[in-house]
Amino acid sequence: MKNMIYRLSSKIIQKDHEYMVQTVNDTSCGAVRSTLYADGVPAESIALPHPAGSGAEEVLSFVNLTHNERKQELEVLLKACDQHAEEGDPRMIYHLGTALYYKGLYGEARDLL
């Protein structure tokens, strides 16, 4: 496979925070790396290895799929946090705060909890 580099970025602005999901084909380690930034600071990063023998189109498809999943996951989490913060259900707030914490969004977790 030719060493093609694919990079996708999506920005989500909510309240006074800016989130960015950046996904790239990391040719140095044969993986797709997706990083979540909160206000410019890296919060969470994952690396998913390419399937063995992947061609350029398969890698591009994997980058797109990974990026879209990570972006949608963040959007759903942030929307749920807003919704349940208003409703005030302590169990849901606890679970959402824990999810934010494990994503590296410590300030958001603290504010919610």
18 half-sphere exposure, CB direction, 13 A CA radius: 7
Which single residue is written with the structure tokens 């006074």?
Answer: 16
Across all residues in the chain, what is the average pLDDT?
91
Q: Which of 20, 32, 26, 29 is nearest to 61 (CA)?
A: 32
Q: Are 23 and 7 in contact (CB under 8 A)?
A: yes
User: Given a cut of 70, is residue 2 above it in pLDDT?
Assistant: no
Whole-prediction pTM? 0.87
Q: What is the pLDDT of residues 35-89, one digit of tens each?
A: 999 999 999 999 999 877 778 888 899 999 999 999 999 999 999 999 988 888 8
